[in-house]
Amino acid sequence: MTGESAAPHIPVLLEPLLREVAPVSGVWIDGTFGAGGYSRGLVEAGADQVIGIDRDPLAHEMAADWLGDWPKISLVRDNFSNLDKVAPLVDGVVLDLGVSSMQLDQAERGFSFMRDGPLDMRMGQEGRSAADIVNTATEAELADILYIYGEERQSRRVARAIVQDRPFDRTLPLAEMIERVLGRTKPGQAHAATRSFQALRIAVNGEFEALWLGLMAAERALKPGGLLAVVTFHSVEDRMVKRFFQLHGDKKKQVNKYARTLEASEAPFEILTRKAVGPDPDELARNPRARSAKLRVARRTDMTAADISGADIAMPMLRETK
């Protein structure tokens, strides 16, 4: 591993997740392996086999130290949007979205506005970096990225300032510039650059496209009775999962005038968490990072995968919020 030593990632909402999916057995996919906390938790809860997926080489380097002691866990380098190709018939899928503490802690990955590093943010280390986007996107494209992916209300002001001051190659100068534009961060408030950094990370990694494709892939891979559990960290992501569950679930609710809703009897999922599950006070005290986490769980029915084309619906839905 390069650079600073990475702090261990504390799994978020693992206990409530294991409670919701109990009893655990059979083959599971952990689509966001990270430090492997969910994979080990699933094995300890009774899974016969866990196939971990992570697109980041860091997760693979770190797992090399301990994976040999866990014969039921294997690890594949891929995007979880391909999870049904990695394992076409499984009893459960878990996704714990976003970045790990190890990724945030390594300044040279460029995810953190608190540590100076190259403006990179690529989980898979291929494709456009955050610097590529910041330095080449038009002002209008930047404003859209900040607004849609980061819900940054001052997206236009930030985009204008970026275009005026660019190029940016490092994280701290960008974070400081955003703080100058939006005003100094007050004690107890999230840093002024939080939303912009989140937005850039989502754009760099195509996180929303991966999420929607991953949910559809899970629908294809899960056996009847199989379970899908998703943990999100911010409202746009949670809205996407909620919407997928509404469109593909047994809840009869008109969610979009263009979308066909499914009768309960033809839905490929039965929704088990009518309301998202959050952390309890004990978990919050142990791990403040769990603050905004939300868990949603659904059970696959024996209906064939829905013929609703998600990507067409999800992206306009995000734009509708503008």
Ligand X SMILES: C[S@@+](CC[C@H](N)C(=O)[O-])C[C@H]1O[C@@H](n2cnc3c(N)ncnc32)[C@H](O)[C@@H]1O
Nearer to ligand X, 161 or 229 (CB): 229
Nearest distance from residue 272's CB to ligand X, in Å? Answer: 20
Nearer to ligand X, 181 or 202 (CB): 202
Nearest distance from residue 250's CB to ligand X, in Å? Answer: 27
- Rounded to whole angstroms, the maximal C-alpha distance in the chain is 56
What whole-number distance in Å separates Cα of residue 3 and Cα of residue 188? 30
Nearer to ligand X, 96 or 144 (CB): 96
Host H or E run for residue 76:
strand 73-76
Strands 27-30 and 49-53 come out as parallel
Nearer to ligand X, 101 or 261 (CB): 101
Nearer to ligand X, 32 or 106 (CB): 32
Nearest distance from residue 9's CB to ligand X, in Å? Answer: 4
Tokens of 110: 């460029």
Nearer to ligand X, 17 or 148 (CB): 17
Host H or E run for residue 286:
helix 281-286
Host H or E run for residue 216:
helix 207-221
Nearer to ligand X, 34 or 226 (CB): 34
Nearest distance from residue 302's CB to ligand X, in Å? Answer: 28
For residue 173, the tally of other CB atoms under 10 A from its CB is 14
Which amino acid would we find at residue 199? A
Cα 278 to Cα 37, 240, 310, distances in angstroms: 18, 17, 26
Nearest distance from residue 307's CB to ligand X, in Å? Answer: 24
What whole-number distance in Å separates Cα of residue 85 and Cα of residue 92? 15
Nearer to ligand X, 26 or 124 (CB): 124
For the chain, give the number of residues: 322
Name the nearest CA neighbour of 35 among 20, 15, 18, 14. 14
Nearest distance from residue 51's CB to ligand X, in Å? Answer: 12
Nearest distance from residue 141's CB to ligand X, in Å? Answer: 22
Nearest distance from residue 75's CB to ligand X, in Å? Answer: 11
Chain residues that interact with ligand X, rule: CB under 6 A: 9, 11, 32, 34-38, 53-56, 59, 79-81, 96, 98-100, 123, 210
The DSSP letter of residue 168 is -
Which amino acid would we find at residue 1? M
* Burial class of residue 170 (count of CB atoms within 10 Å of its CB; 0-12, 13-18, 19+): middle
The DSSP letter of residue 118 is B
Nearer to ligand X, 54 or 283 (CB): 54
Tokens of 132: 């590529």
Contact status, residue 239 vs residue 315, Cβ threshold 8 Å: no
Cα 165 to Cα 139, 152, 156, 159, 169, distances in angstroms: 12, 19, 14, 10, 11
Nearest distance from residue 295's CB to ligand X, in Å? Answer: 12
